[in-house]
Amino acid sequence: MEALQDMFRLDGRLALVVGAGSGIGAAVAEGLAAFGATVVCADANVDAATATADRLGAESRAVSIDLLDAASIERVAADVGAPDVLVTTPAVNVRKAIVDYADDELDMVVDLNIKGTFRLCRTFGRLMAEAGRGSMIGFSSIRSQTTEPGQGAYAATKAATVMLFKTLAAELGPQGVRANTIAPGVVETPLTAPIKARPDWYGAYADKTILRRWAQPGEMIGAVVYLASDASSYVTGTTVFVDGGWTAADGRFTPPT
């Protein structure tokens, strides 16, 4: 029974959380540490990552990482080595109709959301495969499955993230590495701040969920700890939706019953 009680524990494991400076990444870093992991907090904003690491205590530390720069990722890999858990959260969005998109806007979204994530997984996937262990966790979105006007580039990159991690699962599984994605719904983070500032928009998104509210970043912790731990030892190549029921029910109208 003791082993079953401990299956979510992460004692003795090293977790690298990319995007740990704010939002979901910061919450996830705190959650992994609470379950016993030693957490390296990585972010392009190293001061923000340091603030997160300081909250976690002496076992945690911060590193600077730029997913747009392969050399930066390699430097972090040389410093950290092969983590037992890799979590990556960074993404950017430009809300604009496809026909109005400029090339530089498209490049910005694709370069971070896909190319940056790909670079990170290429480098650390190699290390984790050589170590013969590990759980890779990428953050996708409900936009990998359902979209709306203005989400063309972002939705495409989030769908691509799912397939990237499925392929990682297929390629690295024989070496003992699992790879999965988490698809949040609407979460109150810096990325969604412009929506939160619009009461009508904020309310409409809340009403689209079955739970009739937005998520807080901390509500992503459970899914990450599950995928990071032995509780999910036979889970790979899949997506866990943490979306308040957004993708389960269609429409914003509740018909009479």
- 8-state DSSP, 216: P
**Count of CA atoms in the C-beta half-sphere (13 A) of 56:** 30
Task: Find all residues with CB under 8 Å of 92, minimum gap 6, and list them.
Answer: 108, 109, 112, 113, 191
| CB 166 within 8 Å of CB 138 | no
**pLDDT tens, N- to C-terminus, the chain (257 residues):** 458 889 999 999 999 999 999 999 999 999 999 999 999 999 999 999 999 999 998 899 999 999 999 999 999 999 999 999 999 999 999 999 999 999 999 999 999 999 999 999 999 999 999 999 999 999 999 999 999 999 999 999 999 999 999 999 999 999 999 999 999 999 998 878 888 889 998 999 999 999 999 999 999 999 999 999 999 999 999 999 999 999 999 876 777 77
pTM above 0.85, yes or no: yes
Closest CA to 165 of 120, 208, 132: 120
Assess whether 205 carries a catalytic annotation: no
CATH H-level, domain 2-242: superfamily: NAD(P)-binding Rossmann-like Domain (3.40.50.720)
Q: Which of 154, 202, 205, 234 is catalytic?
A: 154
Type and span of the H or E element at 180 = strand 178-184
Domain boundaries, the chain: 2-242
